[in-house]
Amino acid sequence: MLIRRGPDIKASEITPKEIYLSRRHLLGGMAGAGLIAGLGGKADAAPLTAGKSAFSTDEAPTSLKDITSYNNFYEFGTDKSEPARNAHRLTTSPWTVKVDGMVAKPTTFALEDLLKPAKLEERIYRMRCVEGWSMVIPWVGFPLADLLARVEPLGSAKYVAFETALRPEEMTGVGGFFKVLDWPYREGLRLDEALHPLTLLAVGLYGETLPNQNGAPLRLVVPWKYGFKGIKSIVRITLTDKEPQTSWNMQAPQEYGFYSNVNPDVDHPRWSQATERRIGEGGLFAKRRPTLPFNGYADQVAGLYAGMDLRKFY
Amino acid sequence: MAALPRWLRQPSLPDWPLYPLGFIPAIWLFVQAVTDNLGADPAKALERGLGEWALRLIILGLAITPLRQVAGINWVRYRRAIGLLAFFYVLLHLITYMVLDQGLDWTAIGADILRRPYITIGMLGFLLLLPLALTSTNAMIRRLGGARWRRLHRLVYPAAFAGAAHYLLLVKSWPLEPIIYAAIIVALLAWRLVPVGKAGGRAERA
């Protein structure tokens, strides 16, 4: 029988939540007033006010530690521990997002302006990585549809393309001899997928602004698709009438399709997608659990793909 | 060539301490995994860590002949211990995959072996190492005879190649680490193919 030692407790974890939140409020206020201009944009986590959502799962959320220390964000290194070490270099303030293409009102938003009218909600979603592991993440965000409504998509728009920031001077993983991906990171959705109420633009998790390694300051969350569709640190959103290029599809088209809906019946060519390991559940001896079609969101989204051969459109 | 110190060229230390020393990384990885210090997915991290140590030991074992030919460093007396340790790490890696990763789901394991090239190749590498581990004793060397034993133990070449390919095939895209392991293994295998200068003839190669 194994006797498990309790986790090491850091001083920061003993500080009562109210106190460290108020401390951050103070810092936030100081930053706003230009009092700590020297910190130059590496915004510390700030609390967010968010309503509840009926879309949230009641499954136990994965720990903040696991969510923020086990990340695929190849701009900061291919090892899952690297983004937590390297992503602090990313300047997330000021931040602008250009929304253009087939819209009536193309706009370059300062992040504050983009967020001002947003009604933030907490959405506790399952996240299934294409590598065969999963988490439950309490995101804070707002529907992508709300942002798209503000720029008024034209009737001709059929798809939405997304682009991550590309900053070689801040991103430790985009240089080098072997390019892991063709930067900048790109993703895309069909317009009806983008407008689906489950599709979220996230700005926070666990009630605070996003840590950089999770895609600060603004990222996409599409819970019925594999995690890599959730593009991080978005700087551009373009409406178009052609299926956009997506990074992993460009890298290995036979392995990563444009749709990439979670599907236990369509294996990755090199590994099975039938099961997954839920991170943090049982530690070293965690059992695999069956993967659900559309990651358990089939009731809400299966209709989007009626009549489509999901083996062909993987 | 400038003379290297004798303790380096021709060490006289016995090889037995290598066995307890060699298991330190495995024990350390396991302790880290059990005490939740191996990240969010400890089973995966343990599996990966053991596999990487197996590759490192295979590289070390393959480096012994070139080291002797190029630098006059003769560590042949440690090669058996290094090779056996590599085998044990492959075995522990395989057990971790079967027990902790797949939870002894034999259907899933069987399907993996048949249908996933990286697992097929990994299993092949293990099977190639098995007869080498079994014939590692002095008694077996005598029974087989030196020439036959040496021929048999050339199976380490395809096994090393399988190990390198196994790692390359399981990652997404082209991260650096598996490329480095593969490059070193391919270089060490290629060394066996090029004829050496006058210093050592082909016959000397093992």
Residue B105 contacts A where some CB pair is shorter than 8 Å? yes
Query: Which of A56, A87, A300 has its CA nearest to residue A197?
Result: A300
The series of mean pLDDT values per 10 residues for chain B, 206 residues long, is 79 94 97 92 95 98 95 94 98 97 93 93 98 96 95 98 96 90 97 68 48
What pairs with residue A201 in β-bridges? A142, A220
| Separation in Å, CA of B59 to nearest CA in chain A | 22
Looking at chain A, which residue has its C-alpha nearest residue B110? A272
**Residues β-bridged to residue A186:** A163
Decide if B167 contacts B174 (C-beta within 8 A): no
CATH node for A48-303: 3.90.420.10
Taking a contact as any Cβ pair under 8 Å apart, which residues of chain A between 269 and 288 contact chain B?
270-272, 274-275, 277, 279-280, 283-288
| B103 with A74: Cβ contact below 8 A | no
CA distance A291 to A276: 6
Phi, psi of A36, deg, nearest 5: -120, 55
The 3-state secondary structure of B95-142 reads HHHHHHHCCCCHHHHHHHHHHCHHHHHHHHHHHHHHHHHHCCCHHHHH
Q: Which residues of B83-104 are buried (b: 16+ CB within 10 A; e: fewer)?
A: bbbbbbbbbbbbebbbebbbbe
Packing angle of the helix pair B79-96, B24-34 (nearest 10 deg): 20
Contacts of A130 in chain B (CB under 8 A): 172
What's the angle, vertex CA A234, arms to CA A304 and CA A202, rounded to 5? 65
Measure in Å the smallest separation between the Cα of A257 and chain B Cα atoms.
14
Among the listed residues B36, B64, B32, B62, the one whose alpha carbon sits nearest the alpha carbon of residue B50: B32
**Residue-level pLDDT at B1:** 52
Question: Does B172 reach chain A within 8 Å, measured CB to CB?
Answer: yes
Instruction: Tell me the chain A residues in contact with residue B102 when contact means C-beta distances shorter than 8 Å.
Output: 288
Which residues from chain B sit within 8 angstroms of residue A288, using beta carbons? 102-103, 105
- Could you give the CA distance from residue B65 to residue B70 in angstroms, rounded to a whole number? 9
User: Tens digit of pLDDT for each residue in B4-31?
Assistant: 888 888 898 999 999 999 999 999 999 9
Q: Specify the DSSP element, H or E, that contains A108.
A: strand A107-110
Structural tokens at position A149: 């409504």
CA B35 to chain A, closest CA, distance in angstroms equals: 6
Within an 8 Å CB–CB cutoff, is residue B194 touching chain A?
Answer: no
* Yes or no, beta carbons of A80 and B40 under 8 Å apart: yes
B20: amino acid identity, one letter: P
A 123-142 residues with CB below 8 A of B? Answer: 130-131, 133
Give how far B185 is from chain A: nearest CA, Å.
19
Residue A89 CA: distances (Å) to CA of A31, A84, B3: 18, 10, 48
Residue of B nearest to A71 (CA): B40
Residue in the block written with tokens 């059990």: B34
Smallest CA–CA separation between A78 and chain B, in Å?
6
Q: Quote the CA–CA distance of A311 and B13 in Å, as a whole number.
A: 61
Query: What pLDDT sits at residue B8?
Result: 87
Kind plus residue range of the DSSP H or E element containing A161: strand A159-164
pLDDT value of residue A189: 98
CB A112 within 8 A of CB A251: no
In this prediction, residue A10 carries a pLDDT of: 52
Name residue B194's amino acid. V
Contact B43 A286 (CB under 8 A): yes
Closest CB to B175 among A133, A180, A277 = A180
Locate the domains of chain A by residue range: 10-40, 48-303
In DSSP terms, A111 is beta-bridged to none
Instruction: Determine whether the interchain pair A285/B118 forms a contact, defined as Cβ–Cβ distance below 8 Å.
Output: no
ipTM: 0.81
Question: Element (H or E) spanning B152, and its range?
Answer: helix B146-152
Q: How far apart are CA B21 and CA B28, in angstroms?
A: 11
Min CA distance, A314 vs chain B (Å)?
Answer: 17
Distance CA B146, CA A302 (A): 66
Rounded to whole angstroms, how far apart are CA atoms B110 and B119? 10
- Where do the domains of chain B lie? 11-196
**B120 contacts in A (CB within 8 Å)?**
none
Tell me whether residues B173 and A69 touch, CB distance under 8 A. Answer: no
- Taking the Cβ of residue B173 and every Cβ of chain A, the question of whether any pair is shorter than 8 Å is answered with yes
Closest CA to A160 of A139, A186, A121, A180: A186
User: Under an 8 A CB cutoff, do B35 and A4 touch?
Assistant: yes
3-state secondary structure of B44: helix
Q: How far apart are CA B69 and CA B201, in angstroms?
A: 10
Q: Which long-range contacts (CB under 8 A, 24 or more apart) does A91-94 make?
A: A91/A40, A91/A41, A91/A42, A91/A167, A91/A170, A92/A41, A92/A42, A92/A43, A92/A212, A92/A216, A92/A217, A92/A233, A93/A41, A93/A43, A93/A217, A94/A41
Vertex A60: Cα angle to A59 and A61 (nearest 5): 110
Q: Which residue has the tokens 């299926």?
A: A243
If you measure CA to CA, which chain B residue comes closest to A4? B35
Rounded to a whole number of angstroms, the distance from the CA of A50 to the nearest CA of chain B is 27
Q: Render each residue's pLDDT in chain A as its tens digit; 314 residues.
A: 455 554 555 544 555 455 444 444 444 443 333 333 333 344 578 999 999 999 999 999 999 999 999 999 999 999 999 999 999 999 999 999 999 999 999 999 999 999 999 999 999 999 999 999 999 999 999 999 999 999 999 999 999 999 999 999 999 999 877 788 999 999 999 999 999 999 999 999 999 999 999 999 999 999 999 999 999 999 999 999 999 999 999 999 999 999 999 999 999 998 999 999 999 988 888 889 999 999 999 999 999 999 999 999 99
Is residue A98 within 8 angstroms of chain B, CB to CB? Answer: no
Measured in angstroms, the CA of B20 and the nearest CA of chain A are apart by 24
Contact call for A272 and B43, based on CB within 8 A: no
In tens, the pLDDT along A11-63 reads: 445 554 554 444 444 444 433 333 333 333 445 789 999 999 999 999 999 99
Among B39, B44, B102, whose Cβ lies nearest the Cβ of A69? B39
Q: Which residues of A123-162 are buried (b: 16+ CB within 10 A; e: fewer)?
A: bbbbbbbbbbbbbbbbbbbbbbeebbeebebeeebebbbb
Contacts of B43 in chain A (CB under 8 A): 277, 284-286
Q: What is the pLDDT, as a whole number, of residue A79?
A: 92
Contact B34 A81 (CB under 8 A): no
Burial tier of A4 (Cβ tally within 10 Å: 0-12, 13-18, 19+): exposed
